[in-house]
């Protein structure tokens, strides 16, 4: 592909243009094929629309893409596909549209897979709620001989069973239900996470604890709840209790649940939320009730949006890059039909407390 001038451009826009050009080459797109618009580039790669427009403009200047008003972006005449390039395709299947993988995490995963496979095309595929097995069956049938394997995240049980049946190299990102096929998997130590958050609250004197759980239940949630129960069983004696509330990922529902819990006569003083957005809503409602954090109530979050958070939270001891390298290595071993070092990789966790957060 003719993009020598792009290689000299080390600006953020230039690097994005190089990345898009490489994507076009790896996917062997031909002249006239439709490509992503600036809006789609911005959404999929977590950049601003302005940066995406400028990157596509650089590609248009090289005639790698052609941009047509009101029609879209198309592959241009300079995007010559190299038929000798051997590209492997790995599907990333997920049924959770707002899942936790950010563009940066996916970038690390692509980097790890390319280290193991050379040129590789990671295809993101959202599985529909209904007809998921038929969808995956057709997807794999249409993939052809370049398909190397599948990374599956929060998929229905039927999909896991089908992947096991067809013996396609598969690594599960997350925990499997009991009775699911014993596919290789990578997940955080959810049981230890549950134990840590409850022990933290008990040690700080909270005897009534509320958990704002999620309605889109995942297998790892069972391990988390087991950890909570284990911590309560070894707690500080009588009077300790946990109140469970399952809440959809909806701000109105989270606010209403927070109002209900904070207005109870024997309201909880320790709260566990599944993510930082829910923690923020709970904190706002608490302020409206003139409750101070952490003096009157305390909030612990299981996951956070970025690298810092005002709340104590569960923190994996392996970086995103280390986890991506582990997934890539497992996939390579499966493709080569080599024995795995471990079929269920568990990422250790710790609780990052307020004092540690300030110095992080």
Structural contact between residues 136 and 93, judged by C-beta atoms closer than 8 angstroms: yes
What is the Cα gyration radius of the chain? Answer: 24
Sign of CA dihedral 279, 285, 288, 290: negative
Structural contact between residues 160 and 319, judged by C-beta atoms closer than 8 angstroms: no
Which pTM was predicted? 0.72
Residue 331 CA to residue 200 CA, distance in Å, equals 37
Structural contact between residues 348 and 192, judged by C-beta atoms closer than 8 angstroms: yes
pLDDT in tens, 185-210: 999 999 999 999 999 999 999 999 99
Give the full edge-to-edge strand order of the sheet including 270-273: 241-247, 208-214, 270-273, 298-301, 313-316, 349-352
- Full set of structural domains in the chain with CATH: 4-75 (1.10.10.10), 88-183+320-349 (3.40.50.2300), 190-316 (3.40.50.2300)
Structural contact between residues 75 and 24, judged by C-beta atoms closer than 8 angstroms: yes
pLDDT in tens, 51-102: 999 999 999 998 899 999 888 899 988 876 555 556 678 999 987 654 444 5
Please report the pLDDT score of residue 70 as a whole number: 84
Categorize the per-residue pLDDT at 120 as very low, low, confident or very high, splitting at 50, 70 and 90.
Answer: confident
Q: Could you tell me how many residues make up the chain? A: 360
């Amino acid at each position: 592909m003719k993009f020598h001038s792009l290689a000299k451009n080390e600006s953020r826009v230039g690097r994005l243009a190089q990345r898009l050009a490489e994507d076009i080459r790896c996917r062997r797109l031909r002249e006239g094929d439709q490509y992503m618009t600036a809006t789609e580039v911005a959404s999929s790669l977590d950049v601003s629309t302005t940066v995406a427009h400028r990157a596509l403009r650089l590609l248009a200047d090289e005639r790698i893409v052609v941009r047509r008003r009101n029609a879209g972006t198309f592959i241009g005449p300079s995007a010559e596909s190299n038929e000798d390039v051997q590209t492997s395709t790995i599907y990333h299947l997920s049924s959770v549209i707002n899942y936790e993988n950010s563009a940066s995490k996916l970038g690390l995963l692509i980097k790890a897979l390319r280290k193991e496979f050379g040129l590789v095309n990671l295809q993101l595929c959202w599985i529909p709620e209904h007809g998921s097995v038929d969808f995956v069956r057709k997807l794999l049938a249409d993939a052809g001989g370049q398909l190397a394997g599948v990374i599956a995240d929060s998929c229905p049980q039927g999909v896991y069973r089908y992947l096991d049946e067809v013996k396609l190299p598969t690594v599960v990102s997350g925990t499997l239900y009991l009775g699911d096929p014993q596919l290789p998997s990578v997940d955080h130590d959810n049981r230890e996470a549950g134990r840590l958050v409850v022990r933290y609250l008990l040690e700080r004197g909270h005897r009534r604890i509320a958990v704002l759980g999620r309605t889109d239940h995942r297998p790892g949630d069972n391990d988390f709840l087991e950890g909570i129960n284990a911590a309560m069983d070894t707690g500080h004696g009588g009077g300790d209790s946990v109140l469970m509330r399952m809440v959809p990922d909806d701000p109105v529902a989270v606010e209403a649940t927070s109002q209900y819990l904070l207005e109870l006569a024997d309201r909880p003083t320790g709260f566990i939320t599944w993510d930082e957005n829910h923690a923020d809503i709970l904190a706002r409602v608490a302020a409206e009730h003139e409750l101070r954090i952490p003096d009157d109530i305390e909030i612990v979050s299981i996951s956070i949006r970025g690298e810092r958070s005002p709340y104590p939270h569960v923190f994996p001891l392996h970086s995103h890059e280390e986890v991506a390298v582990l997934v890539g290595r497992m996939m390579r071993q499966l493709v080569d039909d080599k024995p795995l070092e471990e079929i269920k990789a568990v990422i250790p966790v710790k609780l990052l407390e307020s004092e540690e957060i300030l110095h992080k």
